[in-house]
Each structure stands twice: as structure tokens, then as C-alpha cells.
Amino acid sequence: MSTECTALSIDNGIARLRLTDPVKGNPIHRRFCDELCDRAIELSCRDDVRAVLVTAEGKNFGFGGDIAHFVAQGDALPSEIKRMTATIHSAIARLQRMDAPMVVAVQGVCAGGSAAFAAGCDTVIGADNARWVAAYAGIGYSTDASATVMFSRRMGLARARNFLLRNQTLDAQAALAAGLVDEVVPAADLLAHAEAIAAQYAAGPTKAYGEIRRLLLTVQNQPLETQLELEAQALARVAATEDARAGLLSFSEKRKPVFKGR
């Protein structure tokens, strides 16, 4: 299913979310935010999605905010920003809380909100030609799209502070060293490598993945005792799943488990 800015297909448990405006650099504007929100609602409601693979058409993953769209708003820009963030932030929150892990393949320029969105994925694969650009302060703006959250979680607070305040650009190897990406591969191998990781996730214990993802969302802002109780409650829920029972039985019988996502 394709619309103006994105395309979504689901096959064998893998949802492939593709950014489809390469001529303009896959920019973030109101239509993009609305579409991403719709995609996130669909993905979070489907029980046949066991992994999400995010890719982008063209030479660049995404230029971030659509400057032309912002300029055209004139004095109405503050209101437009509130409308856009209402949907894109809702999309990000729903994607972060669903069961299915997310893999992203990043090539070329990945800037501003596009970089923040990519950094929020569970596994970030960067091409060797990728460039990560903070972008916000360079045009006199603060952050959105979970940039302060995702960059600080990946790079640490001090490194994220320098990246954002100094409007830095990181090449592929610098991004890898900073923790912004998990792996760097040749550009020609990017999609195949990301597909392979998504397939691994799609064959895994989806409900357990979901509990782990949500626990990691709270680990930095909960007291120890609260986080321990959240872990206990999540583990008890997982113990009732078909996959958990299959996992224990397979281990005891010394064979590889087959997970069904249930």
C-alpha cells in the first residue's frame, strides 16, 4: 500500500515501511507526519507483524524537516509545528511500544528528525556512505521527533549534547564509534543485510521482544524497586505465552526452538 510519502507491505511477518519521496530527500512535512501516524496505528494493531524494516528510496535516507514547507507557513509556523508534532510524536510513541522490533537501513544524508526517527529503531544499520547531521541548531531550531531521547540513549547525554548543540555531522565510522549506529556495511550490501536482521527478528519470540522494548523505555526514569516490579510483571506475562513454553521445552530437549510470535 503506497501513498504520497510512504509505502507499506507485510510479508512473512516482516512489515516493510519505505519512505518514497527521494527527489525531495524524503522530507518531513505535515503529510509525512500524518502518514507515519496512520502507519504506526496499523502496525501496532496487527498481530501478524513480527518485525519492521524501515528503508528509504533514493541516495539519501532523509533531510529532516521540509524547509520549503516551513517557510511557506509564515507567521502560522508555530501552529503548524504543533499540528505536525501531534501526529509524528504519536507515531513514534506507538512504534516504540509495540511488540515488533524495528530495523532501519540508512544511506546518504540522514538529518534532523529523520536521524532521530532512525536512531529510535532497535537495530540501526548504516551504509558506509551515510552521514548523520544534527541539523536543528544550524537553522536556529530546537529538537523534535524524539531527538533528545534517542540520541542520548544511543550516544550518552554528553555526546548527544555536543552533537546537537554544535550541529555536528558524523560520517559512518564516527557514528558507529559514537553508538549512533550498530553496524556499518558497504552501501551495496545495505538492504540485504538489513533484510536478514529483520528476518531474524521475525522468527523470534515477538511477545518477549515487546516486553523487553517497553521495559527499556522506563529503565532510566523509574526507581530501582519499581523497575524490578515491572520486570517481574512482564516476565510473568511472557511465561504464559506459547513461545516461552516452546523455548523451555526446546532447551530441555537440546533442539532449536521454533517461535510463532504467540
Q: What is the pLDDT of residues 61-83, one digit of tens each?
A: 999 999 999 999 999 999 999 99
Confidence of residue 123 (pLDDT cuts 50, 70, 90): very high
Q: What is the pLDDT of residue 4?
A: 86
Cα 215 to Cα 66, 145, 182, 197: the distances in Å are: 34, 21, 20, 22
Confidence of residue 32 (pLDDT cuts 50, 70, 90): very high
- Among the listed residues 95, 73, 84, 81, the one whose alpha carbon sits nearest the alpha carbon of residue 34: 84
pLDDT tens-digit readout, 179-222: 999 999 999 999 999 999 999 999 999 999 999 999 999 998 99
The three grid cell numbers given for residue 220, joined into one nine-digit string = 532510566
Rounded to the nearest angstrom, the gap between the alpha carbon of residue 150 and the centroid of all alpha carbons in its chain is: 9
pLDDT tens-digit readout, 98-111: 999 999 999 999 99
Average pLDDT over residues 27-47: 96
**Does residue 3 carry a pLDDT above 80?**
no
Please list the residues that pair with 62 across neighbouring strands.
110
The three grid cell numbers given for residue 62, joined into one nine-digit string = 532523509
**Does residue 174 carry a pLDDT above 90?**
yes
Average pLDDT over residues 119-142: 97
**Does residue 1 carry a pLDDT above 90?**
no
Q: What is the pLDDT of residue 126?
A: 98
127 SS3 class: strand
Q: How far apart are CA 96 and CA 91, in angstroms?
A: 9
Confidence of residue 94 (pLDDT cuts 50, 70, 90): very high
**Does residue 2 carry a pLDDT above 90?**
no
